[in-house]
Amino acid sequence: MPTRATDARRAAVLGKPIAHSLSPVLHRAAYDELGLTKWSYERFEVDEAALPGFLGTLGPEWAGLSLTMPLKRAVIPLVDEISESAASVDAVNTVVLTEDGRRLGDNTDIPGMVAALREHGIEQVGSAAILGAGATASSALAALARICTGEVVAYVRSAERAAEMRHWGERLDVEVRTADWADAEQALHAPLVIATTPAGTTDALAAAVPERPTTLFDVLYHPWPTALAARWSMFGGAVVSGLDLLVHQAVLQVEQMTGHAPAPLDAMRRAGEKALAER
């Protein structure tokens, strides 16, 4: 049931480091738009060791938590139940705190990726490429499990990372082939390219963008645009940004924590864009 505007509730984002997080901006914008004047959303720097103690301090006024690194796996033993989406990648980025004291873990990154792609007209692809092999890459694979009908090629830097991606492919029932990062330029010819690497990692690939690029999903949002995204746009390709992902996953969090749906996507995006412009 949707929460009344007069109900004082709390939510927050946890992680370490956390000062950079845009989550407070997005969630507060949603509360303003929804008229939830008594709701607050904060950020707390919490690592794995401090997480159990932090959760133990939460009273009945708490509605939910957003989790970023390094807590997405550390929280799993501390919740009462996790969704199928979260279990599929062993990662929880959302904890909903129920009125009866239960902690429900979910992963909104995966459906957030699907929603961000759908917003840009990508409903289904025959194949795709992933740049990188970290935690975000496993979420990308889980998203592709819903929309990709064929092979996914993951470009990685080590045999260990290659093995990890093949493991996730088997677990998620996605056909995954791995390739060496030295050949990453080949990824840019795929119908959908998902870049999941840290800032600067794909800059050297910008010069290799083809004349008619398709769709690039770059999970970064600051600094933006990345060199790869800028070149992709210059050549007329479609670009989905990390802010698109951040907003769509936050929309799902707001809906789960407040009970109000749909959450105000446009207002949240405007708030995120304004905050990034001021950085």
Which DSSP state fits 174?
-
What is the C-alpha separation between 183 and 76, in angstroms, rounded?
36
Burial of 78 (0-12, 13-18, 19+ CB in 10 A): middle
- Give the list of residues 6+ apart from residue 43 with CB closer than 8 angstroms, or none: 12, 13, 14, 18, 19, 21, 23, 24
Active site residue 72: yes
Compute the distance between CA of residue 128 and CA of residue 44 in angstroms, rounded to an integer: 36
Q: Which pair of tokens denotes residue 187?
A: 């990824």
Helix 23-34 / helix 242-258 crossing angle, nearest 10 deg? 50
**Paired tokens of 169:** 């492919």
Contacts of 161 (CB under 8 A, 6+ apart): 133, 178
CB 38 within 8 A of CB 6: yes
Q: Annotated catalytic residue: which of 16, 38, 72, 274?
A: 72
Q: Which residues are catalytic?
A: 72
